[in-house]
């Protein structure tokens, strides 16, 4: 009997970027899951708001658009070094990746510090009313994501410093940046809901 | 393309073995992909078939526990004002029964079977994320053990598998019972979500060359749609169970109407998950039905495109039905009509599937083996369940029979008839592949007879009980209601059904040793898993197969090409592209590691301590972070190009 | 068991009718029509599908047993049949959808200006009933038993103070949930006099199973007489035994949870007992209202309804007899 013909794949590469890489699908899937969760959180917000006479409840003083917008700006700005880090990863330029990861980590930490100060000065707690629960739990969930981003960046910086560094890591770095854009986008949504919406539309009277 | 069927001797996999070089290559593969051994190895295993079997066995054990709980309930309800179970225990038993069957049996069973089958069916060596797969299993196991530990410590959840607030809230359910439920949900959701991502990626990126989207086996299509439904449905219950746990632990007010919360928010979030959940269980079963029909009718399943489109349509419409669980809450008329329409319309894709299967039977050469009998039992039972589903979609009728035994009958017809019958048929069908031995056909038919008759006797009378006014979730009823005799009949049926399942399980246990050796392909099937030995080798395929049609094995001939050039000295597998499954690049699959297990322990600590104190989060964060970093830490041993040496 | 023995004797009197298939109200009747329409349509569909399956599996195959796709000739035929069946399915579903929406509109409201309005509040595990009237002195309070005039629309306003319950009287209408924070309402009407059983249909904890109620539809004149009697304060105790019973009730924990009009007992945690003796049942339509059941209930409520909120009462034998005699006098 003859042996069957074969298709030789030994010349194919062992890494690929973007949609070609299975890990891209994994990370995209995680973003779908968490995006759905945050979207449902926002839906819950509007559901409870629709059933309330006064929204936000009396006694809720917001920290002001100034500080919250500044903090949002810091977060959005962090996209720039993350993007530059991803580009450097494409070029396999290890020192540049490390530099931009460090810059973005500083921005994350700054964002988190200002957020802590904002939350510490709120006039309500998570157990004050449902509005407080929504704000605190959303901020809490998002903070977990920011912390994850910080830990990931620190891990990458350590790996890049100590080695070994494989070309496969470059793809992980790009996915790391992609995930960070998602974390930023989530907060843009909730910034609009928590701070712009009551400011622009005013509170609904009894 | 040559469509002539061929003899089994010519299967390329076997022919290639003759070659000495191939034999050497095979030894190398065996060494590279060797299963981890020893106790440490058990916890480090990342092979999909090993973990798939663990899923199946674990889910079957939970199925047995859930079944015992069902029998306890039936004994309690056999006569009015029975004192076998008091209300406190009954409420724990029915809650644990529902939660077990949904979260610890049906979903993990369907996903676990796919963990086993999908890589074999699409022609690859392991799932896309093997370590994530191991993690999924452990987190599921921890969730299940946690629930049952609590149950035996008299802390079993007792607010129903739907845990409606405020009954499940801090005020009306003090103690830890509901917290156990909420955390068990979180465990199993994480597990299901992780499996779903694994399946999606594997199906999208690791199909054998030639398996373009329009040649994917129907079972794999079903699992793809199911996985997408998991991704978009499960976050709802994760979020709502988180809110519930926080309401109970740190006094948030998501569901407290006195502080701006809303009890109905829970129902919306829960059913936004809960209705797709039914399809997450049912759609894999449709895939099993199609898988069984092809070999036992000797025909390709009729209507590939309509079947795939029906699956996708079901996946979408399934998200637009949740409010039909809430008609009695008093929704605006227009909104209710919309959900009635959506609920009725989902019968169109379901009907289409049934017609296609009947057409397949009509055109086929039937062999009435046990798996086919289960499919016929499925058709009979599921059609009844589907039709009562149409009735329930009608708001006025729903207001009468909602939350009565009519609904209990309906969803058991849909879930047992629609999912468990195909599953029993499917396990019978794949048992030879998994174990290498055949089940006894005689005992298979006996068990089918008992299961089928027992099921109808148990659940058909419950339709009538519901119409006669018997509400659900009652631990007893008054003698004057006249419900006694039908309830007794139902209890008798439940024991017949239980006996049938027992015969089925014993058949499985006995055949492990006594069954006839199965060979590669005892049924003459069309899909790729039957082209390898039973049980499959750890690397699945020595040479990855190529595919030239929807029934690849029926189209193979001696000049059918295979894939060569993957390295055997490391765990290499082939990545193909999304649409046409053309070879794209190679990747290296990770080997055995303990970190997924350690991570699952860390997550377990976080959630279980989190029941008692909010400090669970920071306490658990430490092991979780360590395990995650260790998991992802690049070791530079996978043969990739090194950009920088270890310093 | 008490309940068992009594049920045999005069079951229908205190159990009441409870079948969705035997309607005694206009709404249940309309839903009943929809049910029978759906039943016959669905049965026909089922028989047709099973006949097709039976035909398919008994048919002698017309081609070889070699595996592969079906022959092109059969394929065309099968495509037509399947497409036709799908088309028929769609038409049938539209008919059912139309019937459902039409029935839904018809049963949504009986809107009548002169309706009797009754507020029903769900508690774990009993029903508080309050007949609404602009004049406070004309408000009747009772529990677990609702008298309505036959042939007249009744508006039930539903509320819950604790968990979600669901108000369901199968002979008259479908159910409606009582959700804390979401007051709702339900129109009912009984065609003819009779006793109808209601259930709590949403799981509400330990005694969900024993949270029944009776709807008693009376001729309008009898209903008016009943209403007038309920407005009266019960007569003072007629015998020394009843007098002693009243004293015990006022002094014992009873008064903390229950109200009896004309006495100092004014608790609001449990059912109003002002006219307890006029009611047919005890413990939310769980036991027939007999002296024996009442006595047993007072001593150990946890025996008949384990987990309910009423504690056991250890009264001296003479006191218990007196309390039962007094409560039995509250007509």
Closest CA to A152 of A177, A171, A188: A177
pLDDT at C1: 35
**Inter-chain contact A165–B559, Cβ cutoff 8 Å?**
no
The alpha carbon dihedral of A74, A79, A84, A85 has a sign of: positive
Confidence (pTM): 0.94
The alpha carbon dihedral of A83, A85, A87, A90 has a sign of: negative
Question: Which secondary structure element, helix H or strand E, spans residue C174, and what is its range?
Answer: none
Statement: residue B462 has pLDDT above 60:
yes
The 8-class DSSP code of residue A57 comes to P
| B560 part of contact set with chain A, CB < 8 Å | yes
pLDDT tens-digit readout, B287-317: 999 999 999 999 999 999 999 999 999 999 9
Q: Quote the ipTM score.
A: 0.94
pLDDT at C2: 39
Structure token digits, residue B474:
């009652």
pLDDT at B1: 37
Structure token digits, residue B488:
């007794």
Mean pLDDT of C275-282: 95
Number of helices followed by number of strands (H, E) in chain B: 22, 4
**Inter-chain contact A13–B200, Cβ cutoff 8 Å?**
no
Q: Is the peptide bond before B534 cis (omega within 30 degrees of 0)?
A: no
The 8-class DSSP code of residue B531 comes to G
Pairing of strands B583-588, B572-576: antiparallel
Statement: residue B10 has pLDDT above 50:
no
Pairing of strands C154-160, C184-188: antiparallel
**Inter-chain contact B558–A4, Cβ cutoff 8 Å?**
yes
Statement: residue A1 has pLDDT above 50:
no
**Inter-chain contact C50–B383, Cβ cutoff 8 Å?**
yes
CA distance B109 to B56: 6
- Chain B residues lying within 8 Å of C162, measured CB to CB: 166, 171-172
- Chain C residues lying within 8 Å of B467, measured CB to CB: 19-21, 35
**Inter-chain contact B306–C180, Cβ cutoff 8 Å?**
no
CA distance B102 to B415: 10
Mean pLDDT of B265-293: 96
3-class DSSP state for residue B538?
A: coil
Closest CA to B194 of B274, B114, B94: B114
B647 C-beta neighbours (distance < 10 Å), count: 8
CA distance readout (Å), B263 to A48, A114, C120, C186: 10, 34, 19, 20
Q: How far is B323 from chain A (nearest CA, A)?
A: 15
CA distance A198 to A61: 11
pLDDT at B487: 97
Which residues are paired to A8 by β-bridges?
A: B564
- Chain B residues lying within 8 Å of A7, measured CB to CB: 209, 546, 561-565, 583
**Inter-chain contact B586–A126, Cβ cutoff 8 Å?**
no
Which residues are paired to C197 by β-bridges?
A: C214
Give the helix ranges, DSSP H, for B34-171. 38-44, 48-77, 87-99, 107-122, 130-152
CA distance B561 to B545: 7
Closest CA to B302 of C45, C88, C60, C72: C72
C142: phi then psi, degrees, rounded to nearest 5:
-155, -170
| Burial of B488 (C-beta count, 10 Å sphere; 0-12/13-18/19+) | middle
Mean pLDDT of C125-146: 95
CA distance B185 to B242: 10
Which residue in chain A is spatially nearest to B248 when comparing CA positions? A127
Nearest to A127 among B10, B242, B251 (CB): B251
**Inter-chain contact B564–A10, Cβ cutoff 8 Å?**
yes
Place of tokens 């150990």: C300
Q: What is the DSSP string of B557-609?
A: -TT--EEE---TTTTEEEEE-TTT--EEEEEE-----SHHHHHHHHHHHHHHH
pLDDT at A44: 96
pLDDT band at B12 (very low <50, low <70, confident <90, very high): low
- Chain B residues lying within 8 Å of C49, measured CB to CB: 354, 358, 379, 383
pLDDT at B430: 98
Statement: residue A204 has pLDDT above 80:
no
Instruction: Identify which has the larger pLDDT, B28 or B337.
Output: B28
The 8-class DSSP code of residue B530 comes to G
Structure token digits, residue B268:
């919306």
**Inter-chain contact B476–C15, Cβ cutoff 8 Å?**
no
Which residues are paired to B403 by β-bridges?
A: none
**Inter-chain contact B235–A26, Cβ cutoff 8 Å?**
no
Total residue length of chain A: 206
Nearest 5 degrees, angle CA C63-CA C66-CA C72? 50
Nearest to B231 among A32, A132, A137 (CB): A32
- Chain A residues lying within 8 Å of B586, measured CB to CB: 9, 12-14
Calculate Rg over the CA atoms of chain B: 25
The alpha carbon dihedral of A179, A180, A186, A189 has a sign of: negative
pLDDT tens-digit readout, C319-331: 999 999 999 999 8
Question: Which secondary structure element, helix H or strand E, spans residue C213, and what is its range?
Answer: strand C212-218
B598 C-beta neighbours (distance < 10 Å), count: 20
Closest CA to A34 of A148, A165, A195, A198: A148
Percent of chain A predicted with pLDDT > 70: 94
Nearest to C4 among B81, B333, B341 (CB): B81
Statement: residue B19 has pLDDT above 90:
no
pLDDT at A56: 84
pLDDT band at A162 (very low <50, low <70, confident <90, very high): confident
Statement: residue C209 has pLDDT above 70:
yes
CA distance B376 to B524: 20
pLDDT band at B558 (very low <50, low <70, confident <90, very high): confident
pLDDT at B11: 54
pLDDT at B557: 79
pLDDT band at C6 (very low <50, low <70, confident <90, very high): very low
**Inter-chain contact B575–A131, Cβ cutoff 8 Å?**
no
Q: How far is A160 from chain B (nearest CA, A)?
A: 8
C283 C-beta neighbours (distance < 10 Å), count: 24
pLDDT at B14: 56
Q: Are B590 and A18 a contacting pair, CB within 8 Å? A: no
- Chain C residues lying within 8 Å of B254, measured CB to CB: none
Statement: residue C268 has pLDDT above 60:
yes
Which residue in chain A is spatially nearest to B261 when comparing CA positions? A130
Nearest to B476 among C8, C166, C209 (CB): C209
Statement: residue B234 has pLDDT above 70:
yes
Statement: residue B278 has pLDDT above 60:
yes
Q: Are C184 and B330 a contacting pair, CB within 8 Å? A: yes
pLDDT band at B115 (very low <50, low <70, confident <90, very high): very high
Statement: residue C213 has pLDDT above 60:
yes
**Inter-chain contact B585–A12, Cβ cutoff 8 Å?**
yes
Closest CA to B90 of B470, B475, B454: B475
| B335 part of contact set with chain A, CB < 8 Å | no
pLDDT band at A103 (very low <50, low <70, confident <90, very high): very high
pLDDT at B17: 53
Subunits in contact with chain C (3 or more CB pairs closer than 8 Å): B
Q: Are A44 and B255 a contacting pair, CB within 8 Å? A: no
Subunits in contact with chain B (3 or more CB pairs closer than 8 Å): A, C
CA distance B27 to B14: 15
Mean pLDDT of chain A: 90
Mean pLDDT of C14-33: 94
Interface test with B, best of C84, C172, C177 (most B CBs within 10 A): C177
- Chain C residues lying within 8 Å of B258, measured CB to CB: 181
Q: Is the peptide bond before B166 cis (omega within 30 degrees of 0)?
A: yes
Mean pLDDT of chain B: 93
CA distance A77 to B238: 31
CA distance B547 to C47: 41
Lowest mean pLDDT among A51-55, A104-108, B567-571, C13-17: A51-55
pLDDT at A3: 62
Q: How far is A139 from chain B (nearest CA, A)?
A: 14
Which residue in chain C is spatially nearest to B389 when comparing CA positions? C42
Closest CA to B212 of B585, B555, B548: B548
Statement: residue C3 has pLDDT above 50:
no
Q: What is the largest CA-CA distance in chain A?
A: 88
CA distance B329 to B267: 10
CB < 8 Å from A in window 247-306 of B: 247, 250-254, 256, 259-262, 265, 268-269, 272
Q: Are B547 and B564 a contacting pair, CB within 8 Å? A: no
Which residue in chain B is spatially nearest to A4 when comparing CA positions? B559
Percent of chain B predicted with pLDDT > 70: 96
3-class DSSP state for residue C93?
A: helix
**Inter-chain contact B400–C63, Cβ cutoff 8 Å?**
no
Statement: residue C122 has pLDDT above 90:
yes
Q: Are B46 and B126 a contacting pair, CB within 8 Å? A: yes
pLDDT at A201: 55
Structure token digits, residue B235:
């976050």
Q: Count how many pairs of residues, chain A against chain B, have C-beta atoms within 8 Å.
A: 225
CA distance B406 to B394: 14
Closest CA to A51 of B162, B29, B264, C48: B264
Which residues are paired to C122 by β-bridges?
A: C127, C160
Statement: residue C316 has pLDDT above 70:
yes
Structure token digits, residue B60:
């079957």
Which residues are paired to A165 by β-bridges?
A: B644
- Chain C residues lying within 8 Å of B306, measured CB to CB: 82
Q: Count how many pairs of residues, chain B against chain C, have C-beta atoms within 8 Å.
A: 282
pLDDT at A203: 47
pLDDT at C8: 40
pLDDT tens-digit readout, B165-175: 999 999 999 99
CA distance readout (Å), A176 to A13, A151, B454, B585: 22, 11, 54, 21
Q: How far is C114 from chain B (nearest CA, A)?
A: 23
**Inter-chain contact C100–B396, Cβ cutoff 8 Å?**
yes
pLDDT tens-digit readout, B153-204: 999 999 999 999 999 999 999 999 999 999 999 999 999 999 999 999 999 9
**Inter-chain contact A130–B246, Cβ cutoff 8 Å?**
no
Mean pLDDT of B339-354: 93
CA distance B191 to B186: 9
Mean pLDDT of C28-43: 96
Instruction: Identify which has the larger pLDDT, C60 or C38.
Output: C38
pLDDT at B611: 92
């Amino acid at each position: 009997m003859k042996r069957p013909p074969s298709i030789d794949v030994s010349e194919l590469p062992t890494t690929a970027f973007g949609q070609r890489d299975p890990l891209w699908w994994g990370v995209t899937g995680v973003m779908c899951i968490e995006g759905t969760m945050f979207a449902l959180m926002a839906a819950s917000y509007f559901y409870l708001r629709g059933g309330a006479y006064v929204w936000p409840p009396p006694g809720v003083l917001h920290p002001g658009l100034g500080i919250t917008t500044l903090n949002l700006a810091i977060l959005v700005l962090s996209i720039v070094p993350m993007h530059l880090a991803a580009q450097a990863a494409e070029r396999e330029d290890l020192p540049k990746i490390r530099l931009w990861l460090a810059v973005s980590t500083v921005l994350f930490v700054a964002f988190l510090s200002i957020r802590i100060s904002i939350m510490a000065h709120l006039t309500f707690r998570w157990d004050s009313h449902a509005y407080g629960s929504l704000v605190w739990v959303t901020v809490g969930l998002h903070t977990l994501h920011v912390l994850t981003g910080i830990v990931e960046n620190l891990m990458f910086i350590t790996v890049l410093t100590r080695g070994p560094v494989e070309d496969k890591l470059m793809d992980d770095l790009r996915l790391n940046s992609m995930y960070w854009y998602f974390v930023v986008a989530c907060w843009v949504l909730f910034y609009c809901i928590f701070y712009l919406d009551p400011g622009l539309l005013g509170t609904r009277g009894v | 393309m040559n469509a002539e069927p061929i003899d089994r001797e010519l299967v390329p996999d076997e022919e290639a073995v003759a070659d000495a070089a191939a034999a050497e290559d095979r030894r190398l593969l065996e060494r590279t992909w060797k299963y981890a051994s020893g106790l440490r190895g058990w916890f480090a295993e990342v092979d999909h078939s090993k973990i798939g079997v663990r899923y199946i066995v674990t889910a079957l054990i939970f199925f047995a526990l859930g079944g015992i709980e069902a029998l306890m309930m039936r004994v309690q309800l056999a006569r009015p004002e029975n004192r076998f179970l008091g209300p406190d225990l009954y409420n724990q038993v029915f809650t644990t029964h529902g939660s077990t069957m949904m979260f610890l049996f049906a979903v993990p069973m369907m996903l676990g079977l796919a963990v086993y089958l999908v890589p074999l069916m699409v022609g690859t060596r392991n799932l896309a994320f093997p370590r994530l797969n191991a993690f999924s299993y452990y987190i599921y196991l921890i969730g299940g053990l946690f629930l049952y530990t609590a149950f035996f410590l008299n802390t079993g959840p007792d607010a129903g598998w739907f845990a409606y607030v405020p009954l499940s809230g801090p005020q009306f359910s003090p103690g830890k019972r509901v917290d156990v439920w909420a955390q068990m949900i979180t465990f199993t959701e994480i597990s299901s979500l992780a499996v779903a991502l694994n399946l999606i990626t594997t199906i999208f990126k690791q199909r054998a060359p030639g398996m373009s989207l329009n040649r994917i086996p129907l079972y794999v299509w079903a699992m793809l749609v199911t996985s997408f439904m998991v991704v978009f449905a499960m976050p709802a219950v994760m979020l709502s169970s988180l809110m519930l746990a926080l309401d109970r632990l740190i006094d948030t007010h998501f569901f407290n109407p006195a502080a701006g919360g809303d009890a109905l928010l829970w129902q919306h979030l829960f059913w936004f998950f809960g209705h797709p959940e039914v399809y997450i269980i049912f759609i894999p079963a449709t895939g099993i039905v199609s898988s069984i029909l092809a070999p036992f009718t000797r025909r390709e399943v009729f209507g590939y495109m309509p079947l795939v489109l029906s699956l996708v349509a079901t996946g979408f419409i399934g998200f637009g039905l949740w409010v039909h669980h809430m008609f009695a809450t008093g929704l605006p008329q227009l909104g209710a009509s919309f959900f009635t329409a959506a609920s009725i319309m989902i019968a169109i894709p379901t009907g289409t599937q049934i017609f296609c299967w009947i057409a397949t039977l009509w055109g086929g050469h039937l062999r009435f083996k046990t798996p086919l009998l289960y499919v016929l039992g499925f058709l009979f039972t599921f059609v009844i369940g589907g039709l009562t589903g149409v009735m329930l979609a009608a708001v006025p009728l729903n207001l009468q029979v909602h939350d009565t035994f009519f609904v209990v009958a309906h969803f058991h017809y849909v879930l047992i008839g629609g999912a468990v019958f195909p599953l029993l048929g499917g396990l019978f069908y794949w048992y030879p592949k998994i174990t290498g031995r055949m089940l006894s056909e005689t005992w298979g038919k006996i068990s089918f007879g008992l299961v089928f008759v027992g099921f109808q006797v148990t659940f058909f009378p419950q339709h009538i009980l519901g119409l006669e006014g018997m509400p659900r979730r009652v631990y007893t009823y008054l003698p004057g209601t006249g419900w006694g005799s039908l309830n007794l009949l139902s209890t008798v049926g439940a024991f017949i059904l239980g006996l049938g399942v027992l015969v089925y399980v014993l058949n499985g246990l006995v055949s492990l040793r006594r069954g006839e050796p199965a060979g590669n392909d005892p049924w003459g099937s069309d899909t790729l898993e039957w082209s390898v030995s039973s049980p499959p080798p750890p690397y699945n395929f020595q040479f990855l197969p190529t595919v030239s049609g929807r029934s690849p094995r029926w189209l193979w001939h001696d000049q059918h090409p295979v894939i060569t050039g993957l390295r055997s000295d490391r765990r290499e597998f082939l990545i193909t592209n999304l649409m046409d499954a053309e070879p794209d690049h190679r990747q290296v699959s990770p080997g055995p590691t303990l970190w997924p297990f350690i991570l699952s322990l860390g997550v377990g600590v976080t959630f279980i301590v989190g029941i008692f104190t909010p400090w669970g989060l920071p306490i658990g964060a430490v092991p979780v972070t360590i395990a995650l970093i260790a998991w992802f830490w690049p070791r530079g041993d996978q043969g990739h190009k090194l950009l920088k040496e270890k310093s | 068991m008490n309940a068992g023995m009594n049920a045999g004797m005069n079951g229908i009197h205190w159990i009441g009718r409870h079948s969705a298939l035997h309607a005694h109200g206009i709404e249940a009747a309309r839903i009943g029509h929809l049910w029978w329409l759906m039943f016959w349509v669905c049965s026909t569909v089922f028989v047709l599908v099973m006949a097709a399956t039976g035909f398919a599996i008994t048919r002698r195959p017309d081609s070889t047993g070699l595996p592969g796709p079906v022959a092109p000739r059969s394929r065309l035929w099968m495509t037509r049949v399947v497409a036709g069946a799908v088309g028929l399915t769609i038409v049938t579903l539209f008919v059912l959808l139309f019937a459902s929406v039409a029935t839904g509109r018809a049963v949504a409201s009986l809107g009548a200006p002169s309706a009797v309005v009754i507020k029903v509040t769900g508690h774990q595990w009993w029903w508080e009933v309050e007949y609404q009237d602009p004049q406070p002195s004309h408000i009747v309070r009772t529990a677990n038993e609702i008298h309505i005039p036959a042939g007249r629309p009744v508006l039930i306003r539903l509320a819950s103070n604790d968990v979600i319950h669901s108000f369901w009287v199968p002979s008259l209408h479908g159910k409606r949930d009582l959700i804390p924070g979401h007051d709702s309402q339900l129109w009912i009407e009984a065609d003819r006099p009779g006793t109808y059983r209601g259930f709590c249909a949403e799981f509400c904890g330990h005694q969900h199973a024993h949270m029944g109620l009776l709807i008693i539809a009376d001729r309008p004149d009898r209903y008016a007489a009943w209403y007038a009697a309920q407005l009266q304060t019960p007569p003072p105790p007629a015998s020394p035994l009843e007098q002693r019973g009243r004293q015990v009730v006022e002094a014992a924990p009873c008064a903390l949870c229950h109200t009896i009009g004309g006495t100092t007992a004014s608790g609001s945690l449990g059912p109003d007992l002002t006219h307890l003796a006029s009611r047919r049942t005890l413990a939310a339509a769980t036991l027939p209202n007999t002296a024996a059941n009442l006595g047993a209930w007072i001593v150990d409520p946890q025996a008949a309804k384990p987990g309910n909120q009423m504690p056991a009462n250890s009264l001296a034998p003479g006191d218990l007899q007196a309390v039962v005699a007094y409560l039995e006098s509250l007509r």
